[in-house]
Every structure is written in structure tokens, then in C-alpha cells.
Amino acid sequence: MLRFFSSLVFFLFTAIASANVVISEVDLTNSRVELVNNGTQAVNISNYRWCNRVNGSPFYPSVSSATINAEFSTTPDLVLLPAEVLVFDLSSTFLPPEGGELGLYLPSGGFGRRSALVDYINWGNSLGVRDTVADDTPAIWETNAAIDISGISVGDTIQLKSGSEGNSVSDYKIAPITMGQAQNSVDQVDFRITAVGSMDNGGLFIEFFYNGGGSVTITESPDLRAEYKKVSERTVVLRPSENRIEFQPENGRTFFYRLESD
């Protein structure tokens, strides 16, 4: 905690980077899928669900440790640490080589809600079904957009391009298999606060370093157990530079602040 000189307000500053599990490679020949954790937090994907509403059978199978391919995976369980890789053996009925879609959903379900959809791709002759969910804000795919696999050969896979987020057809390529090599993961996110302080007008500033691709938001909570809300809902938040945020606190109250990246 930090206490500023002329304020009765106490502050706890933290920087939160969201977990980021992405579909990094799909091997249609062998019906395998690779996931990579490109975030800074461990993610437990137990009870997550796959989705292929186009031609899956069944449509929503659970992500199961029994389908982990140990040869290509860097972890033996469903807890993905940053930069770790999990490869799953699925089925040709769920990953048809002619075309299909693949979504990864949170265990809470709600398959029509964008907030429950972790990642999504669509390929071949598929127009997609859950692409309309993936296209909702913040979009992670485009409606009726499919990765072109017309030139795919034996030994090739659908791969996330290095440094790409996987939010569009253009983020993927067809190339010789690299499954399990973790070459698809983006650079690790570094998100940290470098300075905090008060200004002459009674406002506060936070300076930070962030090399991720998301947007940074300042949130506040009167109690660590309460919901964090955007400071911009209460007062003007200024960004005099890319890595500096300035705002006015509520005098005489205790607030906890944190920076968040989506």
C-alpha cells in the first residue's frame, strides 16, 4: 500500500494481464489440436469444452486429460502455465479435413455468449456457425471467414503465425507440422507498474510498461472483495503518453486501484 502526502486515500496498485490460451496449430491429417498459453497467468482448462457446430459429433465434447498427446505436450495435465503447450488427439469426425470450425469455451457454457468463447478458428469449406459469436465485441474472428486449405499437403498443418493473436484468417498459415515445438507462441507479455505519485492538482498518475497487444484500463474498488469498476465511469482519465495514466481520486475515501489488460 502507498499513502500519498495530502490525501486520506490509501492505494494498492497491481497490474493484471489476462490469461490468453490460443489455438496455435491444427493437424487435420491426424486430428490433433495444439493449445498454447500466451498469457502471464496459469490457466486450468479442466471442464472447458470444444465446439464444432458445423459438423462436430458431438457438438460440445469436454476438454479431457484422457485425450492429451504426451509426446507433443509440454505438460501432463490440464493446467497450462505461461508458454506451455498442450496437444490433444480428437477425431476426424470432429476435425473434418474438408472444412469445419473449432471453438474453445469456458466451462460455464453459454455457447451464444462471446464472453464464454476463449478462442475460435474456421477452415476449408465451412461458413461457420459460432463465427457470429466470435465476431461479437471484442471480436476474435470474422463472420463467414475460413482459412484457405486448398494448398495443404501431407505433413502440413494449420498454424498460427509467429507474433499473431489468432483473431482472423490472416493470422494463420499452412506449413509443415511444428506441433509441440511451441514455435507459435508470441513473445511473453511484460506488464508492470514503474512509477506512481501525486500531482499539483491533487490528481494521481501511474506510469507502466506493457508490451502486450491489448488495451490498458485503470479500475478501482472500495474493497478488495468488491467488484472493480472502471475509473472512467466516475471521472475523466487522461493518457498524456502511451504509458502514463492520470486521474482524480475521491478524497477521504479508501480505494484500491489496478491496471488491467484485455
| CATH classification of the domain holding 226 | 2.60.40
Residue 182 falls inside a structural domain: no
For the stretch 86-133, pLDDT in tens is: 999 999 889 999 999 999 999 876 899 998 999 999 999 999 999 999
Residue 184 falls inside a structural domain: no
- Name the burial class of residue 226, with classes exposed (0-12), middle (13-18) and buried (19+) by CB atoms within 10 angstroms of its CB: exposed
For the stretch 138-151, pLDDT in tens is: 899 999 999 999 98
Q: Where among 153, 176, 199 does a domain terminate?
A: 176
Can you give the C-alpha Rg of the chain in angstroms? 21
Within this chain, do residues 96 and 157 fall inside the same structural domain, yes or no? yes
Q: Which cell is 105 given?
A: 469455451
Check pLDDT > 70 for residue 9: no
**Which of 215, 167, 221 has the alpha carbon at shortest distance from 191?**
215
> Can you list the positions of beta strands (E) in 138-215?
156-160, 172-176, 191-198, 204-210
Within this chain, do residues 149 and 103 fall inside the same structural domain, yes or no? yes
Check pLDDT > 70 for residue 16: no
Residue 60 falls inside a structural domain: yes
Question: In terms of residue numbers, what domain contains 237?
Answer: 2-16+189-261
The identity of residue 221, as a single letter, is S
Within this chain, do residues 126 and 193 fall inside the same structural domain, yes or no? no
